[in-house]
Amino acid sequence: MSLNLDFYRISNYFLLTLSILFSSALFAQERGEQLYEENLEASRYINSFQMDCRQATPVCRERSSALRAEETFNRYMEVVFERQVDAWPNNEFASVEDAFFMRQDGDYSFEGSFFGDAKIAYDNASEILDDILSSADKQVEDLLAEGERYLYREEKPDWAESYFREALPYDPENERIKRGIARIEFLLNFESNKIFIEDLISKNQFPEAVEIIDNLLLGDPGNEVLEDYKFEISIREEEAIILSNLNAVIEEIEIIDNDLDLQNSPIELESALIVLRDDLESTTNSLSEIYEVLYALTDDEFYISDDATAFYTGEIESINSRIDEIKVLMIAASITDFETRFSTSDSSNNLSLLSDISDFIGENILEDADATRLEDLAEQVVEKQIKIFNEALIAAEGSEDWALASSIIDDINIFSPSPESRQKADALNIIINGISIIESYNSSPSSLYSRRELSQAGKLADSLENTSALFPNAANLANLITNFKQSINDAELLVSESEREEAEKERIAAVKREEDRKKAEEERQAAAAARASSSARSESSSSRRNDSTPSQSQPSTSSQSNQTSSNSSRSDSSSPSNNASTSSLSTKAKLDYSSFGEVVYCPRTYRNKSFRPTWKILVTSDGKATSVEVIDIKDPDGNEISMNGNDNKILEIVNKGLLDSNFKPAQMGAVSVESELILSIKIPDRFCG
């Protein structure tokens, strides 16, 4: 009781002293602020005077010096205001007021243009302020020197306190003063402050306790006792937050349990309780961790006993029981709902029902009876749906709607897969893909005009024919396969004809190469024989000249020369004759069938019959057709034929394709020449699909 009384008396004394000091300081502060504002107003007034000083006259120089002096005084006043001289204890502010009155004298002189007198007044006023500040600084240094000697060297904090307290008003932000006062407070009152701090902590007055601890730490930085107090406060603050959160969760549980009806809103109630249960468990675990720390700090065994969190663990068990009760009710209601849905289900919602049953079984822990009941229901759903699928599959196959049939068989494989259903799914995929490819070929028949495409198309036709055996009543599919095989046969005839023509061209080229080789060899042998004959005649002539006189040799030489010249001319004249013979060889122009297959274009499907046109085509030396003229049209057996509209459309498409195709130009010797080509091609039926 006496301890609490001492705290009460100390607090009242401290508050009374603080009130008196604050009142005095407030009054002094008002005086200081008023004087500071008056000085600012006086300075603005002085600077409002204008004078033409574009030339540096003596008067202008005096005026400028006076203004600089006035500015110096203003800076001193700034320092005076910042250091709160008006609150200093020895009435130093009276001297500040004297300096301001002296400044006013300078203002009067400046207003009267007595700039020299004004400067003197401003300088004297500044000197007064400088003396005040310098004297205070010296006094602070002297007081600190004495106070620090008693505090740190002689360890007499009670003797040192008065020096620091006396220096404080002159420089409140001085770190040396603040550290000294804090150290004195720590040394003189540490034990009583500890009691005070512990009392505040026990009353959960944490901010007040922390403020006292921080002030004491300035006097003894790192003090372990004080740091332990701060750590304990942080833990107890966290404990208070956790307890507040726990109580809020419990209140919310009570509100939800009252607001939500178990019969009408079981799902919402269960979800809300699970969230709050999880929150309560997490927060209770956090509280247990905090209590372990508090036990380490206080050795109070309450913090590690079951009683510490018993209330909250009991609440968790109660919520779990409530959730289990809701689950039982919800499972029973869900099973009843599934059975009701099954009794009214059709093909549009059986799959959804089966999926919901499967998810429900996977998501809930069921009693054996409930699990068996749901599994039996799922089997009934599957049987019912498979029957519906089979009926739909038969209808889809009958109408040859292969995409629909494929979709149905996929659904069957989801519900109840079997080797037969998987085989049929593969067959339907082959048919769908095959029909798509055949349609692509029909839209561009020329794409079949290559051995590679013919090979792939043949394999496709065989595959479709084998697959169609599973669907014996699919007449449209059978017709499609038959027509496609006919298209393959027609394309095979065109490709074979093109290959025969290419082989013939290669044979002719080979014959020509052989003839050229033989001709070159004959020319080489003839030239060698000519050179040997000429050499023999030259030797015979030289022998005769050596045996005859000079007068006789001259005509002989001339005759020999003429004879040689004549032989040479005959030899030379033989060459053009040989070239003309070679140039007489020629090859006819030929159609490049691969080019024709690339450029022919069917804008849409035409159902034409088979016919064989004959064209007269003018082919240039660079292999382009300049004109295409139909000169005859027969049926494939060579008989006359009557052309209908679709036949004429196909003839126009082929004519344009020939004009755009490339040709092998005719050859006259080694020179490509313009020529006329007579061409006959069998056009298959359904040329454009």
Given phi > 0 = left and psi -120 to 50 = alpha, else beta, which region is 606?
Answer: beta
Between 620 and 23, the more confident residue is 620
Angle (nearest 5°) at CA 609 between 447 and 601? 30
Share of the chain above pLDDT 70, in %: 86
> For position 250, what pLDDT does the model report?
85
Q: HEC string of 381-422?
A: HHHHHHHHHHHHHHHHHHCCCHHHHHHHHHHHHHHCCCHHHH
Share of the chain above pLDDT 90, in %: 26
- CA–CA distance, 609 with 683 (Å, rounded to integer): 8
Q: What is the DSSP string of 182-211?
A: HHHHHHHHHHHHHHHHHHHHHTT-HHHHHH
Classified as helix, coil or strand, 243 is helix
What are the residue boundaries of the structural domains of the chain, listed by start? Answer: 2-50+58-172, 224-343, 418-530, 587-680
- CA–CA distance, 235 with 573 (Å, rounded to integer): 126
Q: Mutual orientation of helices 310-343 and 224-259 as an angle, nearest 10°?
A: 30
- Closest of 96, 110, 105 to residue 45, by C-alpha: 110
Residue indicated by tokens 């019912």: 384
Mean pLDDT of the residues in the chain: 81
Between 552 and 372, the more confident residue is 372
Contacts of 122 (CB under 8 A, 6+ apart): 66, 69, 70, 72, 73, 103, 106
Q: Is the pLDDT of residue 28 over 80?
A: no
> For position 573, what pLDDT does the model report?
37
What Rg do the C-alpha atoms of the chain give, in angstroms? Answer: 61
In the structure, what pLDDT confidence band is assigned to residue 663 with cuts at 50, 70 and 90?
A: very high
pLDDT, tens only, 531-570: 887 777 766 666 555 554 444 434 443 333 333 333 433 3
pLDDT, tens only, 280-326: 889 989 988 888 888 888 888 888 888 878 888 888 888 888 777 77
Contacts of 299 (CB under 8 A, 6+ apart): none
Contacts of 150 (CB under 8 A, 6+ apart): 156, 157, 159, 160, 163
- Closest of 663, 633, 636 to residue 651, by C-alpha: 633
Q: Which two tokens stand for residue 322?
A: 């409530």
The per-residue b/e assignment along 283-294, b for 16 or more CB within 10 angstroms, e otherwise, is: bbebbbebbebb
Q: Is the pLDDT of residue 98 over 50?
A: yes
Q: Is the pLDDT of residue 40 over 90?
A: yes
> For position 577, what pLDDT does the model report?
37
Q: Is the pLDDT of residue 119 over 90?
A: yes
pLDDT, tens only, 169-197: 998 888 899 889 888 888 887 788 888 88
- Closest of 456, 480, 483 to residue 467, by C-alpha: 480
Strand partners, 582: none
Looking at residues 258-279, what average pLDDT do you find?
75
Q: Is the pLDDT of residue 35 over 60?
A: yes
Q: What is the DSSP string of 279-340?
A: HHHHHHHHHHHHHHHHHHHH--GGGGSGGGTHHHHHHHHHHHHHHHHHHHHHHHHHHHHHHH
- CA–CA distance, 104 with 98 (Å, rounded to integer): 10
Between 319 and 349, the more confident residue is 319
Least confident piece of the model among 112-121, 361-370, 505-514, 569-578: 569-578
In the structure, what pLDDT confidence band is assigned to residue 74 with cuts at 50, 70 and 90?
A: very high
- CA–CA distance, 619 with 589 (Å, rounded to integer): 7
- CA–CA distance, 74 with 531 (Å, rounded to integer): 130
pLDDT, tens only, 389-442: 888 888 888 898 999 999 988 988 887 788 988 888 999 999 999 999 998 888
> For position 630, what pLDDT does the model report?
94
Q: Is the pLDDT of residue 575 over 60?
A: no
Taking a C-beta distance cutoff of 8 angstroms, is the pair 193, 217 a contact?
no
Instruction: Please give the span between the terminal C-alpha atoms of the chain, in angstroms, as a whole number.
Output: 114
- CA–CA distance, 207 with 215 (Å, rounded to integer): 13
- CA–CA distance, 541 with 534 (Å, rounded to integer): 11
Q: Tell me which range, 15-19, 335-339, 556-560, 611-615, is most confidently predicted by mean pLDDT.
A: 611-615
> For position 624, what pLDDT does the model report?
92
DSSP count for the chain of H helices, then E strands:
19, 8
Taking a C-beta distance cutoff of 8 angstroms, is the pair 76, 70 a contact?
no
> For position 545, what pLDDT does the model report?
57
In the structure, what pLDDT confidence band is assigned to residue 63 with cuts at 50, 70 and 90?
A: very high
